[in-house]
Amino acid sequence: MGKINLFLIGLLGPEFLLPIALGQWSSARASVKRFRKAGYEHWTLTHTYFADMGGFLLQSPGSDMFPIDATQLFCLVQDGFIVYPECDVEDIQDKCKSGDMSSFQTIRFSHHIRVIAVLQALWFLINCIIRLAQRLFLTTFELTTLSFILIFFVTSFCWKDKPKDVSRAIILTTDTPIDTIRSKYHPFPEETWYQTPLAFLSREERVSSRLWRYYVQILHYLYIPIFARPCTKPYDHFPSDTSLPTDRTAEIIGAPIILFFTCIFTFAWHFEFPTPAEKLLWRIAAVYQIIFGLVGGLGVIYADTIVLPHTREKSVSFDYSPTGRLAWLAWKLRNIHPDRDPDLTIPLKALLPFTLLCIGYCFSRTYILMEDLVGLRRLPESAFQVGSWTMYIPHWL
């Protein structure tokens, strides 16, 4: 289900998938530094991804098992609540879905598939460049495919050490009750928890992640659960679509990629379209992609650094009944989670503009994908010609 969820996100907007991959990559690299600084030299990116996918379950007296991520695992190991799990990459791959193959065969097969996919993407990219160099017609369908390839290269790099879906988790046990562990780290250990008892140790979702969960929750209320299966309490898995904070390296990589992606559709500004109306609509959609990328990106930065740090509501505040219909409606709209998880609260001054921006994005994105298909009904003759490679081969070969 996690892979299907990510596929649907990538189909809706590849630029939404990129921050998820960069955030997970940033978190994984920080975890490796943390573990190795503490003396655990065998901890790798694969270990972190496995933990953040729900690969480690904690069993404590008097409570149900629940997954712990890499940050939570590090805290528990450092303070002696659990023993450091001695497992290597092969052990982790063995815990992932492998069908009838051995873990070693699974690693090789997965690696070969990724290499083939990257080579195919490179081949398509080179062919498109040759077509442009020889002034052959490039369809909008091919242009949109190039935008997907651009994101694919970066996400493949970020997730190259990420294992497949976890099918068998590693169970870690502790003799210390969860309440005692919570009192060690939490300033208010009696406060209600919503995901897992230790989620507060590493819960740093960005506003984009909160917005995504808000919209997915609306779909669940409408009985359209096409994204992300509902989680139990405590969580039995970690959602694959969580957007985590990115470090400076990830931002340096991601910023120009997002900028180029938002501008790539303007390359078809002077393309031939079946009708003038379709060309005009394409131009409008292409311009809106740029507006969405710039305004949305700046809005996310503003919300993450200024708005969200001042809007977290304490769980006790949910016992308060607002006076007045407008106050009650605003209070309800800020958080539609079934349990009214305070960490999923979105202030209206962020929710309303982002929602309007996303509605416009859905229309523009839908048109681009539709035009990619309907525009194939009438193509110029050069669209069916194949680019020649021979002129680029040195004559002395």
Q: Which residues of 297-328 are buried (b: 16+ CB within 10 A; e: fewer)?
A: bebbeebbeeebeebebebeebeeeeeeeeee
User: Alpha-carbon distance 123 to 126, whole Å?
Assistant: 5
**Overall average pLDDT of the 369-393 stretch:** 80
Q: Which of these ranges, 100-114, 252-266, 342-356, has the smallest mean pLDDT?
A: 100-114
pLDDT in tens, 346-366: 888 899 999 999 999 999 999
Angstrom distance (rounded) from CA 15 to CA 147: 9
What pLDDT does 370 receive?
94
Cα(8)–Cα(17) distance, integer angstroms: 10
**C-alpha torsion 62→66→70→74, nearest 10:** 0
Q: To the nearest whole percent, how much of the chain has pLDDT over 70?
A: 86
User: What value does the mean pLDDT take over residues 31-35?
Assistant: 95
The number of residues making up the chain comes to 397
For the stretch 141-177, pLDDT in tens is: 999 998 888 888 898 899 888 887 777 888 999 999 9
Q: What's the rounded mean pLDDT across residues 259-282?
A: 93
Mean pLDDT, range 370-394, rounded to an integer: 78
Q: How many CB atoms lie within 10 A of CB 279?
A: 18
**Among 45, 24, 64, CA closest to 235:** 64
CA 288 to chain CA mean position, Å: 22
* Torsion, CA 246, CA 248, CA 252, CA 255, rounded to 10: 40
Looking at the DSSP bridge assignments, the partners of residue 171 are: 57
Verify cis geometry, omega within 30 degrees of 0, for the bond prior to 234.
yes
pLDDT confidence band for 197 (50 / 70 / 90): very high
3-state secondary structure of 59: strand
pLDDT score at 384 = 80
- Output 61 or 240, whichever has higher pLDDT: 61
CB 81 within 8 A of CB 178: no
pTM of the model: 0.85
Gap between the Cα atoms of 170 and 199, Å rounded: 18
- In this predicted structure, what is the pLDDT of residue 396? 53
pLDDT at 243: 84
Are 26 and 244 in contact by the 8 Å Cβ rule? The answer is yes
- Highest-scoring range by mean pLDDT, 7-11, 13-17, 254-258: 254-258
Contact 235, 196 (CB under 8 A): yes
Look over the chain and give the mean of its residue pLDDT values, rounded to a whole number: 84
**Which of the four pLDDT bands, split at 50, 70 and 90, describes residue 133?**
confident
**270-276 long-range Cβ contacts below 8 angstroms, 24+ apart:** 271/137, 271/138, 271/140, 272/137, 272/380, 273/371, 273/375, 274/374, 274/375, 274/377, 274/378
- Cα(91)–Cα(105) distance, integer angstroms: 13
Domain boundaries, the chain: 1-193, 206-217+244-312+324-378
Distance CA 322, CA 44 (A): 49
- Dist CA 212 CA 155 (whole Å): 19
Torsion on CA atoms 370, 262, 287, 379, rounded to nearest 10: -40
- The mean per-residue pLDDT over the stretch 331-354 comes to 87
Which amino acid would we find at residue 15? E
Q: Is the pLDDT of residue 20 over 80?
A: yes
Res 14: pLDDT:
82
User: H or E stretch including 153?
Assistant: helix 140-158
Res. 240 pLDDT band, cuts 50 70 90 = confident
Strands 66-67 and 56-59: antiparallel
Hey, is 170 helix, strand or coil? strand
pLDDT over threshold 80, residue 130: yes
Q: Which of 117-131, 199-213, 354-368 has the highest mean pLDDT?
A: 354-368
pLDDT at position 105: 46
- Decide: 21 and 162 in contact? Cβ < 8 Å: no
Encoded tokens for 334: 């800020």
The answer to whether residue 337 scores a pLDDT higher than 80 is yes
pLDDT for residue 315: 41
Mean per-residue pLDDT, 367-395: 79
Of 111-115, 238-242, 393-397, the poorest mean pLDDT is in: 393-397
b/e map of 238-252 (b: 16 or more CB within 10 Å)?
Answer: bbbbbbbbbeeebee
Residue 1 is predicted with a pLDDT of 55
pLDDT at 238 over 50: yes
